[in-house]
Structure 1
Amino acid sequence: MRIHFIAIGGAVMHNLAISLAEQGHQVTGSDDQIVEPSRSRLLKAGLLPAQLGWFSDKITEDIDAVILGMHAEENNPELKAAQELGIKIYSFPEFIHELSANKTRVVIAGTYGKTTIMSMVMHVLKALDRDFDYLVGAQLEGFDSLVKLTAHNKIILIEGDEYYASAIDHRSKFHLFHPNIALISGIDWNETRTNISKEDYLSLFDSFISTIVPKGTLIYNKDSAILRDIVEQTLDCKINRHGYKMPEYSINKGVTYLHNGEERIPLQVFGKLNLSNIAGAYTVCEWLGVKRTDFYKAIVSFQSSIRYLEFVASVNGSVVYQDFLFSPYKLRTSIHAVKEQFPGQGLVTIMELNPYDVLNENFLDQYASSMDESDHAVVLVNKDSIKDKNILLNTLESDIKQVFNHKNFVFLTDLNALEGYLESFKSLGFNLLFMVSPKHNTMNIVSFSDKFFKNF
């Protein structure tokens, strides 16, 4: 096929383009901005556009398909030209579904945990020498690409999110895959992260369940009350339903052990979210024919391949972790996980908030008392990341302190102050947890970890 990518520089798009070119398809593409690592990868594959920008004359009648990326807008000149010529236009989820029509499609969805569950399933299958195709949303350790597509593999694992497919297709991406096996890890509506109502957000998952092929399988987290309610409302769907719950576990000398009858299986990850994700990953693998003993043997060597309670450094028994700050729920569960894992240690939690988010009263209020379990709580709102100099952070300090309502609370507005705080803190007997937004982080965490260890 001759395939043209509009917005080829996207994380998934450039990986998909390279994969298709490796299979022998004729691939071209355009974009008005291509950054690393996309640029180097496209250059190496011989797919880097000679010139940045959109060029309608690139769209010719001999093109079999156009794949439209999220970055491209509805008035894109190449898109307009493709529409005028009647060329088939796909969003990348549509194209993935077409290429995987004869495969067993496993789609992992949910507000949180889907990338971790994907990485666990991929880790286990790889350890067992089972080949598979995949589409994942983040670079995972042990895998060179976000996309792998072959003609021969019988299984494809897909990370499915609820955001719309393209500028001209506002269906959710995960509605387009039509899974044979689907997993939903949990649902957590947050008005500051979504532009739709709670009712509409929940209906996306209701609709996702209805896209599972007849006699397919839904795997779902029974510990999520919202999700249980949604599953109960879809009983007319002719599918299998397999719920999973938090497994039994224990902690001994800083190691979490998963219980399998009398057997105790040591893990390299910890925290209830990770344990729940392991239960979900096991259930997926079970439906793919993996034996229980083989799964547990493989999961022992799994380390977090994305920033979920990711180890940073350790000195004299004190440990530093970093984690993504997606929501107040994630903040609370991550703090609890570290405290539970190291009950004899104190905890300092440092979180950075986007200054523009802090100005939103609804955003701030949802963090009320969210750091209670941490022994020391530090909130950084970096004034140097503010473009509008009329915003005065000092006037917000009392509001922020009132929201968190923590006895050992520190509010900081620059990195020098944070450096001074860490250097002066007597860290013996304390662990440190950095909570950072995936879209806003001005901290050099490795450098700040060194400062923390200076004053034992």
Structure 2
Amino acid sequence: MNLHFIAIGGSAMHALAIALHDKSYQITGSDDAIYGTSKAALENKGLLPEKMGWFPEKITTGLDAVILGMHAREDNPELLRAKELGIKVYSYPEFLFEQAKQKTRVVIAGSHGKTTITSMILHVMQYHEKEVDFMVGAPLEGFDNMVHLTEENDFIVIEGDEYLSSAIDRRPKFHLYEPNIAFLSGIAWDHINVFPSYDNYVQQFEKFVSSIVNGGILVYNEEDPEVKRIAEETSNPIRKHAYHTPEYHVQDEMCILDTPEGELPLEIFGKHNLNNLAGAKWICQHMGIDEDDFYEAIATFKGAAKRLEKIAETSSAVIFKDFAHSPSKVKATTAAVKEQFPDRKVIACLELHTYSSLNAQFLKQYENALDFADEALVFYSPEAVSQKKLEKVSAEVISDAFQKEGLRVFTDPAELKQSLEATDLSNSALLLMSSGNYGGLDLDEVKTWI
């Protein structure tokens, strides 16, 4: 097939383009800007556009289809040209489904834990040399690309994002996959720019469960009341398997899972990750991996990129970076670090970066999210608030929202860096939580502070 990608530089789009290129599809693409790992990966495969920008002349009748990324707008000149010529336009999830229609589709959904759970499953499959297709949202050790597609593999494991498919397809991505095996980790209101109320957000997960094929399987977290309700009330004729957090304990700053065969030391830690592990085990068993083999493999899992990723450590200090930004993720991640290092000072530094987190009305959802930190810092950019056309927020509004005694709020990246650099990190654990970069904080330099 001859395919053209509009907005090929996106984190998911470039990975899909590479996966299809590896299947010998003819791939072209455009974007107005491509950075970092996406740029390097596309360049390595000879797929990087020669010039940045949109070029309608690239859209010809010789194309079999166009794949439209979420970054592209409705008035994109290449999109308009494709419509004019009557060329089929797919959103990313639509085309992924086309590639997966003949496979057993395993879709991992939930407001939190999707990337980690998908990564756990893929790690176990790779450990036992079981070939599967996949789409995961973050780089994973041992895998060259975040998307892998073949003709022959029976299973495809898909991270099922609830965000919208494209500018012209306003359906949540995970509504398009029609899973044979579905996973639901938890529900915590997010993406308020798209889902204006909690009830509207929850409805998307109800539709997801309804989209499971007849006779399919739902693995769900029974510790989440909303998830449990949806699972129990669905009229979809499916099999259901509930999971819960397994028994574990922390000993000498190591997380140990209590299994039927004895204690199993893990590379990961935190109640939320143990909960994720329990669900991943169910999925792996449905994919042909027995319990003992799962435990053998998961003991070597070090985590997904930017998910409680250890970036520096000495005998007296450790630094983690984490993608956590929503209230539930911030609380779970901070609690996990405090549980793992109970005798150390936990310093949590959070950047409010997303549309939801910078929304004055949504901020109240962060109440008590940083309570497990001994010291807490919050950074946000007033310019980002303005760019997102949101109501101005202040340090006072943020402090009132978090209800954390001693919380320090920063708006100047230089002041934040100066404060962190001056902090005594001996006998401490520094947790950096952000989906951004704190206005340009150099993590390589941060590593030298301990």
TM-score (ref. length: structure 1): 0.89
Q: Would you say the 8 A contact 2:106–2:180 is kept in 1?
A: yes
The Cα shift of 1:111 comes to 0.7
For 1:83, the equivalent position in structure 2 comes to 83
Hey, what's the Cα distance between the residues in 1 that align with 2:355 and 2:153? 46
For 2:258, the equivalent position in structure 1 comes to 259
For 1:173, the equivalent position in structure 2 comes to 173
Q: How many residues align?
A: 447
Q: Would you say the 8 A contact 1:384–1:414 is kept in 2?
A: no
Counterparts in 2 of 1:9 and 1:87: CA distance versus 1, 3 Å: same
Hey, what's the Cα distance between the residues in 2 that align with 1:57 and 1:419? 47
Query: Which one-letter code corresponds to 1:347 in the other structure?
Result: V
Query: Which one-letter code corresponds to 2:434 in the other structure?
Result: V
Q: Would you say the 8 A contact 1:186–1:224 is kept in 2?
A: yes
Hey, what's the Cα distance between the residues in 2 that align with 1:141 and 1:364? 35
For 1:249, the equivalent position in structure 2 comes to 248
Query: Which one-letter code corresponds to 1:99 in the other structure?
Result: Q
| Higher alpha-carbon deviation: 170-179 or 377-386 | 377-386
For 2:304, the equivalent position in structure 1 comes to 305
Counterparts in 2 of 1:31 and 1:380: CA distance versus 1, 3 Å: closer
> What is the SS of the residue equivalent to 1:293?
helix
Does 1:431 find its partner at 2:429?
A: yes
The Cα shift of 1:342 comes to 1.9
| Higher alpha-carbon deviation: 80-89 or 284-293 | 80-89
Q: How does 1:184-223 map to 2 (within 5 A)?
A: 184-190=184-190, 192=192, 194-223=194-223
Does 1:42 find its partner at 2:37?
A: no
Q: How does 1:2-401 map to 2 (within 5 A)?
A: 2-190=2-190, 192=192, 194-234=194-234, 236-261=235-260, 263-354=262-353, 360-381=359-380, 396-401=394-399
Instruction: Describe the superposition over 1:255-307 as per-residue Cα deviations: whole angstroms up to 9, x where unpaired.
Output: 11111125111101100111011011111101001011100000001001222
Q: Would you say the 8 A contact 1:355–1:383 is kept in 2?
A: no
Q: Would you say the 8 A contact 2:111–2:190 is kept in 1?
A: no
> What is the SS of the residue equivalent to 1:257?
strand
The Cα shift of 1:92 comes to 1.9
| Higher alpha-carbon deviation: 211-220 or 369-378 | 369-378
> What is the SS of the residue equivalent to 2:186?
coil
Q: Would you say the 8 A contact 2:115–2:304 is kept in 1?
A: no
Counterparts in 2 of 1:5 and 1:423: CA distance versus 1, 3 Å: closer
The Cα shift of 1:399 comes to 4.2
Instruction: Describe the superposition over 1:345-389 as per-residue Cα deviations: whole angstroms up to 9, x where unpaired.
Output: 23222223359988743243333343232222223346797889x
Query: Which one-letter code corresponds to 1:443 in the other structure?
Result: L
Counterparts in 2 of 1:90 and 1:407: CA distance versus 1, 3 Å: closer
> What is the SS of the residue equivalent to 1:214?
coil
Hey, what's the Cα distance between the residues in 2 that align with 1:411 and 1:317? 27
Hey, what's the Cα distance between the residues in 2 that align with 1:193 and 1:72? 17
Q: Would you say the 8 A contact 1:246–1:279 is kept in 2?
A: yes
Counterparts in 2 of 1:334 and 1:46: CA distance versus 1, 3 Å: closer
| Higher alpha-carbon deviation: 290-299 or 51-60 | 51-60
Q: Percent identity between the aligned chains?
A: 43
Counterparts in 2 of 1:193 and 1:359: CA distance versus 1, 3 Å: closer
Q: Would you say the 8 A contact 2:352–2:358 is kept in 1?
A: no
Counterparts in 2 of 1:218 and 1:440: CA distance versus 1, 3 Å: farther
Q: Would you say the 8 A contact 1:67–1:89 is kept in 2?
A: yes
Hey, what's the Cα distance between the residues in 1 that align with 2:198 and 2:382? 33
Instruction: Describe the superposition over 1:309-359 as per-residue Cα deviations: whole angstroms up to 9, x where unpaired.
Output: 221222233322222232222222222112211222232222233599887
> What is the SS of the residue equivalent to 2:20?
helix
The Cα shift of 1:194 comes to 4.4
Q: Would you say the 8 A contact 1:191–1:198 is kept in 2?
A: no
Q: Would you say the 8 A contact 1:355–1:382 is kept in 2?
A: no
Hey, what's the Cα distance between the residues in 1 that align with 2:31 and 2:191? 32
Hey, what's the Cα distance between the residues in 1 that align with 2:413 and 2:46? 42
Query: Which one-letter code corresponds to 2:272 in the other structure?
Result: L
Across the aligned residues of Structure 1 and Structure 2, the Cα RMSD in angstroms comes to: 2.7
> What is the SS of the residue equivalent to 2:366?
coil
Question: Please, which runs of 5 or more residues in structure 2 have no aligned partner?
Answer: none
Query: Which one-letter code corresponds to 1:61 in the other structure?
Result: T
Hey, what's the Cα distance between the residues in 2 that align with 1:33 and 1:355? 20
Query: Which one-letter code corresponds to 1:287 in the other structure?
Result: H
Counterparts in 2 of 1:273 and 1:88: CA distance versus 1, 3 Å: same
The Cα shift of 1:89 comes to 1.9
Q: How does 1:402-417 map to 2 (within 5 A)?
A: 402-417=400-415
Counterparts in 2 of 1:415 and 1:26: CA distance versus 1, 3 Å: closer
The Cα shift of 1:417 comes to 3.9
Q: Would you say the 8 A contact 2:353–2:434 is kept in 1?
A: no
Hey, what's the Cα distance between the residues in 2 that align with 1:17 and 1:370? 38
TM-score (ref. length: structure 2): 0.90
Counterparts in 2 of 1:377 and 1:219: CA distance versus 1, 3 Å: same
Hey, what's the Cα distance between the residues in 1 that align with 2:188 and 2:176? 22
Instruction: Describe the superposition over 1:38-73 as per-residue Cα deviations: whole angstroms up to 9, x where unpaired.
Output: 333333323333333333333332322222222222
Hey, what's the Cα distance between the residues in 1 that align with 2:19 and 2:400? 52
Query: Which one-letter code corresponds to 2:431 in the other structure?
Result: L
Question: Please, which runs of 5 or more residues in structure 1 have no aligned partner?
Answer: none
Counterparts in 2 of 1:21 and 1:350: CA distance versus 1, 3 Å: closer
Hey, what's the Cα distance between the residues in 1 that align with 2:59 and 2:147? 25
Query: Which one-letter code corresponds to 1:206 in the other structure?
Result: E
Counterparts in 2 of 1:359 and 1:10: CA distance versus 1, 3 Å: closer
Hey, what's the Cα distance between the residues in 2 that align with 1:384 and 1:207? 37
Hey, what's the Cα distance between the residues in 1 that align with 2:36 and 2:424? 40
Runs of 4+ in 1 over 6 A off after TM superposition: 355-359, 383-388
Hey, what's the Cα distance between the residues in 1 that align with 2:395 and 2:4? 51
Instruction: Describe the superposition over 1:166-217 as per-residue Cα deviations: whole angstroms up to 9, x where unpaired.
Output: 2222122111111111111111114756443222211111111111111111
Hey, what's the Cα distance between the residues in 2 that align with 1:172 and 1:356? 17
